[in-house]
Amino acid sequence: GHKSLSVDLGDRSYDILIGTTVLAAAGKLMQPLLKSDRVIIVTDENVAALHLARLERALDDAGLHYQSIAVAPGDTSKSLDQLGRLIDQLLAAKVERSTTILALGGGVIGDLAGFAAAVTLRGLDFIQIPTSLLAQVDSSVGGKTGINSRHGKNLIGAFYQPRLVLADTSILTTLPRREMLAGYAEVVKYGLIQDAAFFTWLESHGADLIEGDRPALERAVLTSCRCKAEVVAADEREGGRRALLNLGHTFGHALEAETGYGGELLHGEAVAVGMVMAFDLSVQRGHCPPEDADRLRRHLAAVGLPTGFADLPQRHWDAERLLDHMGRDKKVNQGRINFVLARGIGEAYIESDVKTEEVMALLTSAI
């Protein structure tokens, strides 16, 4: 069996199915939702080599017709060029309005294939089959799809909800450890936002989960998806509560922008450091007990995630430049930055009144 939860968005509501048998049963699980018996799988070459055959077998079991398209792995595939090629391949394969796109891969494939689905023939149904921990707990849920521009990450895209999310936790056994850890940072984030009991549970089960302990993984994916689904259902397009999901991301994006998305620093690694900085800033403002910031730092360090500049790739970090990146991170107005801060573990809130001088002071002491 598997666990199931739903993202409640009226007539665009969809289910997330989580478990270790979901991939093997994928064809039968999706069949009731399909408009025809034809699907097209979009995946990357790494995932294709490891898991595509299993998905194809599951589709055979349900008597479905499929074709597969594999793109190069990595964020460089989230480009206008690659999007153009993909849409062209879909059209050359004579997709019809009734064809469903299956996104089999990490966040890159979910974002790229989801966006291609959103715009091809003005909208094809699509199903997310996330294969990285990050994709299972974050990017496959919530309906953000898109690609990068030379002006920055994720600047071209659409809100486009999948029809179904199939998260098979056994797929994660082949994920490189560093990718697993990076995804784990987002898992920790959900505990920090609104679930102190989950954070406490992670303190004792996080290390096992990263090693691939299946019951622990299943519970963590379920709890994370439930948190994201709740927040997204309350606020699909990010005005209020959805912004809480950006905990650690204002600092994190600045670190990523500075290192240049070349794999030197993974998103989740940047977010880990960013969450610590958000807690430090909360402590500095007198809103959060220092013990909570220490607890966060200890836990991240215990599982092997970076917690500060000393753990990051060596370079000349410059506080001004980082602040500059935060400015471009669209959350600044008139010398004040929108930040997700915390009153403690499990109690994140949005603060629109953080002054750039406070952030400078924190960065300068942290570097």
Told to judge if 242 belongs to the known catalytic residues of this protein, a careful annotator would answer: yes
d(CA 288, CA 286): 6
* HSE-CB for 222 with a 13 A CA cutoff: 14
**Should residue 258 be labelled a site residue for ligand NAD when binding is judged by CB under 6 A?**
no
Q: 51, 219, 226, 228: which one is catalytic? A: 228
| 3-class DSSP state of 322 | helix
| # binding residues, ligand NAD (CB under 6 A) | 30
Determine whether 249 is an active site residue: yes
118: Cβ contacts below 8 Å, ≥ 6 apart: 145, 158, 160
Which residues inside 132-171 make contact with ligand NAD, applying CB under 6 A?
132, 134-135, 138-139, 142, 144, 153-154, 171
Site string for ligand NAD, 170-199 (x = CB under 6 A): -xx-xx---x--------------------
Tell me which residue has tokens 């879909």.
90
Query: Does residue 253 carry a catalytic annotation?
Result: yes
Distance of CA 6 to the CA centre of its chain: 18
- Using DSSP, state whether 266 is helix, strand or coil: coil
Beta strands in the chain (DSSP E): 3-7, 14-19, 38-44, 65-71, 100-105, 125-130, 144-149, 152-159, 164-168, 332-333, 336-342, 348-355
Sheet containing 3-7: which strands, arranged edge to edge?
3-7, 14-19, 164-168, 125-130, 100-105, 38-44, 65-71
Among 50, 62, 119, 156, which residue sits at the site for ligand NAD (rule: CB under 6 A)? 50
108 binds ligand NAD (CB under 6 A): yes
131 and 171 Cβ atoms separated by less than 8 Å: yes
Q: What are the tokens at 237?
A: 């397009």
Q: Which is nearer to ligand NAD, 163 or 297 (CB)?
A: 163
User: Which of 47, 55, 64, 277 is close enough to bind ligand NAD by CB under 6 A?
Assistant: 47
In the complex, minimum distance from the CB of residue 358 to ligand NAD, in angstroms, rounded to a whole number: 27
Residue window 293-332: x/- pattern of binding to ligand NAD, with contact defined by CB under 6 A: ----------------------------------------
- Residue 331 marked as a ligand binder: no
110 is in an annotated binding site: yes
Q: Is 299 labelled a binding residue?
A: no
- Is 267 annotated as catalytic? yes
Instruction: Output 157 or 346, the one with its CB closest to ligand NAD.
Output: 157
Give the interface with ligand NAD as residue ranges (CB under 6 A): 44, 46-47, 50, 73-75, 78, 105-109, 111, 131-132, 134-135, 138-139, 142, 144, 153-154, 171-172, 174-175, 179, 267
Active site residues: 122, 144, 186, 228, 238, 242, 246, 249, 253, 267
